[in-house]
Structure 1
Amino acid sequence: MTPALPLAVLALVDAAFSGFRAYAGRDARIRKHRATLRAALRGLAVGAVLLLAPALTALLLLLTAADPARAYATLAAGGLGYLLLLTAYAAAVLLSFAAYFLLPFRASTLAVVVGLGPLTLLRPPVLAAACLGALLNGGGRPSLLVGAVAAAATLSVGPVVHRRWYR
């Protein structure tokens, strides 16, 4: 199984949330569902474009490899190492979201303060650890390169959306 599809899905979901975070707190209106949806879609669009960078990096590595089958296997192994840590992180985020939506007001506020807030701050170290996971899982330098490009693209979505639409 290739980890490319689950990694792309995680990256696009994260991009939508990054678009939302770029917008959050900029509008004092109570009913702002349309604006938050627009912000999430902007993040998704920017994320889809930035996701081309790691995809093109992996493609370039495969096209220039002496043994493309071995290079693919190496990238797949690294992708699984990258995916493992990101899946655990995504599960923690989903658990915090579930607590936010299902618990009473005070407990849901606590879920945001204790869960979603710190998890948002942990995104860069988690992505760095995922790059290390790609390296240690047998992906070697090629997977580390693709992972680093993917991490840079992922962390760039929020600032790009903020600068483009919410300055």
Structure 2
Amino acid sequence: MTPALPLVLLGLVDAAFSGYAGSDARIRKQRASARAALRGLAVGAVLLLAPMLIAALLLLTTRDQARTYNTLTAGGLGYLLPLTIYATAVLLSLAVYFTLPFRASTLAMVIGLGPLTLLRPLAIAAACLGAVLNGGGGSALLVGVIAGAAVLCVEPAVHRRWYHHVQ
């Protein structure tokens, strides 16, 4: 099993959520929220091309493509495990946020989603460590670091492009 598809999907979902950087505080904001998510998705899709291109270059320039593919696959699986745990925690916090009454959902946002947002870089660092520990080596670490940088750059890029004037 190749972990590429789940990792790309996870990165794109993360990018869509990252599109909310600096979005407005209007009460009725379904259209604004959809636009923000699409902006994040578009920026994330472009930025996530970088790790895919690096992986393709690694595969095209190696002498032993099967070995490199297996190494990248092992690294990708190691990268996926910490991110799956992190994504599960985020989904549980979102479920609590959307199902509980207003005050309880606000508390869920403050104690769940807020800290989890701040922990994104640590989750990516754990994923990079998982890639190496699972046998991915330097090539998987390289792809993982570039992928992590790509998803972490979505929010600042979206903010700079569309929300820089919002204070």
- Structure-2 separation of matches of 1:101 and 1:81: 31
- Structure-2 separation of matches of 1:36 and 1:123: 21
Q: Which is further off, 101-110 or 81-90?
A: 101-110
Aligned to 2:142: 145
Match of 1:48, SS state, is helix
Aligned to 2:13: 13
- Structure-2 separation of matches of 1:138 and 1:32: 45
Runs (5+) with no aligned partner, structure 1 = none
Are 1:136 and 2:133 counterparts?
yes
**What is the letter of the counterpart of residue 44 of structure 2?**
G
- Structure-1 separation of matches of 2:12 and 2:26: 27
Aligned to 1:91: 88
Match of 2:19, SS state, is helix
Offset of 1:62 from its aligned partner? 0.4
Please say if residues 85 and 126 of structure 1, whose CA atoms lie closer than 8 Å, have aligned partners that are also in contact: yes
**Moved runs in structure 1, 4+ residues, more than 2 A?**
none
Aligned to 2:74: 77
Aligned to 2:61: 64
Aligned to 1:3: 3
The match for 1:126 among 120, 123, 128 is 123
Please say if residues 135 and 144 of structure 1, whose CA atoms lie closer than 8 Å, have aligned partners that are also in contact: yes
Aligned to 1:23: 22
Offset of 1:103 from its aligned partner? 1.2
TM-score (normalised: structure 1): 0.96
Q: CA 1:29 to 1:163, structure 2 compared with 1: closer, same or farther past 3 Å?
A: same
Q: Which is further off, 104-113 or 34-43?
A: 104-113
Aligned to 1:108: 105
- Structure-2 separation of matches of 1:93 and 1:50: 22
Offset of 1:30 from its aligned partner? 1.6
Offset of 1:110 from its aligned partner? 1.1
Match of 2:26, SS state, is coil
**What is the letter of the counterpart of residue 136 of structure 1?**
L
Runs (5+) with no aligned partner, structure 2 = none
- Structure-1 separation of matches of 2:50 and 2:129: 19
Alignment: residue pair count: 164
Offset of 1:28 from its aligned partner? 3.7
Offset of 1:89 from its aligned partner? 0.3
